[in-house]
Amino acid sequence: MNFENLQKTDPVCHQFVLDEIERQETSLELIPSECIASLSVIEALGSPFTNKYSEGYAKKRYYGGNDVVDQVELLAIERAKEVFGVAHVNVQPYSGSPANLAVYNAVCEVGDTTMGLGLTDGGHITHGLSVSATAKYFNPVLYGLREDGYIDLEQVERLALEHKPKLIWVGATAYPREFPFEAFSKIAEKVGAYLVADIAHISGLVLSGVHASPVPYVHMVTTTTHKTLKGPRGGMIMVTEKGLEKDPDLAKKIDKSVFPGLQGGPHDHQTLAICVALGEALKPEFKVMAQGIVDNAKALAEALKGYGFELATDGTDNHLILMSVGKGRGMFVQDALDVAGITLNKNTIPNEPVSPFFPSGIRMGTPIMTMRGMKVSEMKQVAAWIKRVYDVVAPFEHVVGKEEKKQQRKEFAEFLRTNEELKVIRAEVRELCSKFPIYKG
């Protein structure tokens, strides 16, 4: 990648870019919501389309000079409709959370009851978390998981019949199993609710056929365009044929909700990059990659179980693994792995005994490792490193008192800085990464 102009005009920011490239190239990124955008996507995102202002929709702009922009947006829409098999697509949402808010704004009134999976059970903040605007303006009823970590469909139906929600979300940020879209559809129909699938994490798997599609069962689909779709940071809202059957004006309501309801001009450079990513998703090699992501996740899960780790639902159907590491110890394992060059995130587990601030699990995924070309043998090595790091931080247990926490954090920071085993693992990780460069040449 060439950043000559940045180097000349702003050496400090140029160095930031080089440092981040170095970090990504020499580390193992296991955060399941991250991806490797192609150089073509990155070039599109950095194109002069960023200069343009295009309030409105194709052929109906408020500004002139949008002939080319219109072609870009229309092509992005057509590609999205083709890969997902939907009737209508809006590609203007700035990201996933704005897309979700636009759905609320399109079909709900202030105070309407909605339903979604609770955050500590793997849901998303925009599905009704108390600190989110979605809880400030609407009345969220949250459903949860069974003891085995699967979505509690009996509870979903009971709550739906009791509260009669206007809208039901199916989707998550930390759920390792395939979503039961058909079962949710039957429940939504019983109460006349709009059913929305948030497939931000799994959109690339869905369009590749390695995860069930929600399209036959839901009225709307929202997604980010990064994560497994391998595009820029953006969002989309899709309306299905089933959605138009329920509400013939649903597509118009969505478009009006996005603009002028919540946003001004779209990010045209982002739209171009989304269009490029969707074009890449139409190629056969994308489906091969998506299958590899799932295969690697299952292999990593089995290897971790072999070391005695407890996984939520005892495995995975998708790109994601949620693993228990002991009461309140997620932060210790996350930070130590980071020092060792393995990046993932602490996360609550089903029936979390502590809190989201000091959770008892870690969340990991295989998209980036797969996109780099790694396979099952590398997954086994990663599992071995995770076990070694877990053993390194075994002496650190969750404490309760404020002063005790403060002192422990100080001791832990010094421990991470000086631990020799973590340095050894870091060197081993760097060596593996050198064999799988992200951007070749």
390 an active-site residue?
no
Name the residue with tokens 């609710």. 193
Q: Give the model's pLDDT for residue 244.
A: 98
**For residue 338, pLDDT beyond 70:** yes
224 an active-site residue?
yes
> For 230-246, how does the pLDDT look when each residue is reduced to its tens digit (9 = 90+)?
999 999 999 999 999 99
258-271 as b/e: b if 16+ CB within 10 A: bbeebbeebbbbbb
Is residue 386 a contact partner of residue 337, using CB atoms and an 8 Å limit?
yes
Taking the C-alpha atoms of residue 400 and residue 410, their distance in angstroms, rounded to an integer, is 15
Is residue 25 a contact partner of residue 438, using CB atoms and an 8 Å limit?
yes
C-alpha distances in Å from residue 172, one per residue of 120, 222, 276, 286, 360: 11, 12, 26, 23, 18
> For 83-102, how does the pLDDT look when each residue is reduced to its tens digit (9 = 90+)?
999 999 999 999 999 999 99
60 an active-site residue?
no
**For residue 440, pLDDT beyond 80:** no
What DSSP element (H or E) covers 101? helix 96-107
Is residue 182 a contact partner of residue 147, using CB atoms and an 8 Å limit?
no
pLDDT band at 412, cuts 50/70/90?
very high
**For residue 17, pLDDT beyond 60:** yes
Q: How far is CA 46 from the centre of its chain?
A: 23
**For residue 65, pLDDT beyond 90:** yes
Is residue 242 a contact partner of residue 182, using CB atoms and an 8 Å limit?
no
Taking the C-alpha atoms of residue 351 and residue 55, their distance in angstroms, rounded to an integer, is 46
39-71 as b/e: b if 16+ CB within 10 A: eebbebbeeebeebebebbbeebeeeebeebbe
> For 366-388, how does the pLDDT look when each residue is reduced to its tens digit (9 = 90+)?
999 999 999 999 999 999 999 99
Is residue 230 a contact partner of residue 279, using CB atoms and an 8 Å limit?
no
Kindly name the residue from 198, 280, 317, 352 that is annotated as catalytic: 198
Q: Give the model's pLDDT for residue 267.
A: 97
Taking the C-alpha atoms of residue 103 and residue 218, their distance in angstroms, rounded to an integer, is 13
Kindly name the residue from 227, 329, 372, 388 that is annotated as catalytic: 227
Query: Which among 105, 88, 72 has a CA at the least distance from the CA of 261?
Result: 105
Q: How far is CA 188 from the centre of its chain?
A: 24
Q: Give the model's pLDDT for residue 441.
A: 54
Query: Which among 239, 246, 233 has a CA at the least distance from the CA of 214?
Result: 239
User: Residue 40 is encoded by which pair of tokens?
Assistant: 């073509």
User: Residue 355 is encoded by which pair of tokens?
Assistant: 């809190």
User: How large is the average pLDDT for residues 19-30?
Assistant: 97
Q: Give the model's pLDDT for residue 326.
A: 96
> For 136-183, how does the pLDDT look when each residue is reduced to its tens digit (9 = 90+)?
999 999 999 999 999 999 999 999 999 999 999 999 999 999 999 999
Taking the C-alpha atoms of residue 292 and residue 276, their distance in angstroms, rounded to an integer, is 22
User: Residue 353 is encoded by which pair of tokens?
Assistant: 């005994």
Q: Which residues contact 352 (CB under 8 A, 6 or more apart)?
A: 120, 359, 360, 361
Q: Which residues contact 26 (CB under 8 A, 6 or more apart)?
A: 341, 429, 430, 433, 434
**For residue 129, pLDDT beyond 70:** yes
Q: What pTM does this model have?
A: 0.95
**For residue 332, pLDDT beyond 60:** yes
User: How large is the average pLDDT for residues 51-71?
Assistant: 96
Ordered structural domains, the chain, with CATH: 44-281 (3.40.640.10), 287-434 (3.90.1150.10)
Rounded to the nearest 10 degrees, the angle between the axes of helix 11-26 and helix 420-434 is: 90
Kindly name the residue from 114, 126, 224, 343 that is annotated as catalytic: 224
User: How large is the average pLDDT for residues 317-321?
Assistant: 97
Kindly name the residue from 55, 82, 112, 152 that is annotated as catalytic: 55
Q: Give the model's pLDDT for residue 351.
A: 87
198 an active-site residue?
yes
Taking the C-alpha atoms of residue 153 and residue 160, their distance in angstroms, rounded to an integer, is 10
User: How large is the average pLDDT for residues 265-284?
Assistant: 97
233 an active-site residue?
yes
